[in-house]
Amino acid sequence: MKKIIFSFLVLALCLSCSKDDNRKDNPYLFDLNFSVVVDLSLPQYNGLNFPSNPVYIGNYGHGGIIIMNTGSNYVAFDAADPNHVPKNCSTLEIDGLEGTCQCEDHNKYNLITGQFVEGENLEYTLYAYRVTDNGNGTLTVSN
């Protein structure tokens, strides 16, 4: 009897776990393998030493990377608008704590949470990347 109850508990735990695969199901953005080290002592990344100063780094991800110090940790998102086919205008422009798509839809996203703020029929949040604080004044951003 104990084995049956234990089996049901294990099954219930497995079924109750939620999937966080919204970004993986995105038809516009696919997984890329990369790793970039960001040296916080360099002038172009100095803003990351203070909370709420997002920094754009080009040539990585689909449309570049936006990194931000939230005050308690660092977050990084792909700078491509996740809600339409990538094109020249779909790279987000930093506007305070929001990223705005430059295409005709002007979708807006929160750069702390990655959630959409403004736009119509938005399904996908920003594509997040892993950020590791190396503890020596550098960050590693990777997928």
User: pLDDT tens-digit profile of 81-129?
Assistant: 999 887 888 899 999 999 999 988 889 999 999 999 998 888 999 999 9
CATH code of the domain in which 38 resides: 2.102.10.10
Give the whole-angstrom CA distance, residue 66 versus residue 41.
18
Helix, strand, or coil here: 104?
A: coil
Residue 7 lies in a domain: no
Q: Has residue 23 got a pLDDT over 60?
A: no
- What six digits make up the tokens of 101? 């798509």
Residue 21 lies in a domain: no
More confident: 28 or 43: 43
CB–CB of 62/127 below 8 Å? yes
Give the whole-angstrom CA distance, residue 40 versus residue 48.
7
pTM for this entry: 0.81
Return the beta strands (E) in the chain as ranges.
35-39, 55-57, 65-69, 74-78, 92-95, 98-101, 108-110, 116-118, 128-133, 138-142
Residue 4 lies in a domain: no
- What six digits make up the tokens of 71? 């005050």
Q: Domain range holding 123?
A: 30-142
Count of Cβ atoms closer than 10 Å to residue 54 Cβ: 23
Burial class (CB in 10 A: 0-12, 13-18, 19+), 94: middle
Q: What percent of the chain has pLDDT over 70?
A: 83
Give the whole-angstrom CA distance, residue 31 versus residue 114.
17
CB–CB of 137/25 below 8 Å? no
Please count the structural domains in the chain. 1
Residue 67 lies in a domain: yes
